Chains A and B, each alone.
Chain A
């Protein structure tokens, strides 16, 4: 069974930093692309970033480009999102999501339960 467990969320001040982690199990992590997708309170889904299975291809939404960095450690079956220069509008539940293939833009087929990031002074 595919399991994705996010951690690292919390309350941070505007301009601050936070690092999210996602622990994957139940599948061969190194063979799949991974994604971060967020959902602001009461709002819809917004794609944040994607990374291919071997980290060769990385994509970011314009809203986070230059501030967020996606990375993965295939030896640890883990996905990360380093978030810097956080803004109030970054407040959201952040979902770790598996891509359906190994490339950089495979569709999401499994989602974690999410971790809440709140940016507020």
Chain B
């Protein structure tokens, strides 16, 4: 059981906009930044979004992040086949003194 809650799956057709939610608590998302990682099939995770809504260099602006209270979301617009991957949210948890991850959302591009 993950500390952060994500839907196990999401899907969309090419060109569509998809959002993935991440729910936490006051000790993690409620008081710290949220980060998102993309894991393409068979590869290591890659940083996709940092400090709620900042994109690392090289990440397309089709990806955007937001946070409100104890929840966060990742939006992907103009969906492309290469976006098919697992997406994980993460945050530092003050009560646990450690990083917590969501269970991951498998995005399928139909």
A binding-site residues for B, Cβ under 8 Å: 35, 37, 44-47, 50, 59-62, 95, 100, 105, 107-114
Residues B92-108 near A (CB distance < 8 A): 92, 96-104
- Residue B47 at the chain A interface, CB threshold 8 Å: yes
Q: How far is the CA of A61 from the CA of B50 in the complex (A)?
A: 22
**In chain B, what residue has the closest Cβ to A95?**
B44
Known: A107-B33, A109-B56, A113-B44. A44 touches B101 (CB 8 A): yes
Number of B residues contacting the other chain (C-beta, 8 Å)?
25
Q: How far is the CA of A111 from the CA of B56 in the complex (A)?
A: 14
- Residue B63 at the chain A interface, CB threshold 8 Å: no
Q: Which residues of A contact B56 (CB under 8 A)?
A: 109
The answer, among B2, B44, B90, B96, for a CB contact under 8 Å with A112, is B44
Residues B4-41 near A (CB distance < 8 A): 33, 35, 37, 39
B46 with A61: CB separation less than 8 A: no
Q: How far is the CA of A62 from the CA of B33 in the complex (A)?
A: 22
Q: A59-B97, A108-B35, A112-B44 are in contact. List 14 more A-B contacts (CB 8 A).
A: A44-B2, A44-B88, A45-B39, A46-B101, A61-B98, A105-B99, A107-B35, A107-B47, A107-B50, A107-B90, A108-B37, A108-B90, A109-B50, A113-B43
Q: Which residues of B contact A107 (CB under 8 A)?
A: 33, 35, 47, 50, 90, 92
In the assembled complex, the CB of B5 is this many whole angstroms from the nearest CB of chain A, namely 12
Known: A45-B45, A109-B56. A62 touches B96 (CB 8 A): yes
Q: List 18 A-B contacts (CB under 8 A).
A: A35-B99, A37-B45, A44-B103, A45-B37, A45-B39, A46-B101, A47-B90, A59-B98, A62-B96, A95-B45, A105-B98, A105-B99, A107-B35, A107-B47, A107-B92, A109-B56, A111-B44, A113-B43
Residues B58-110 near A (CB distance < 8 A): 86, 88, 90, 92, 96-104
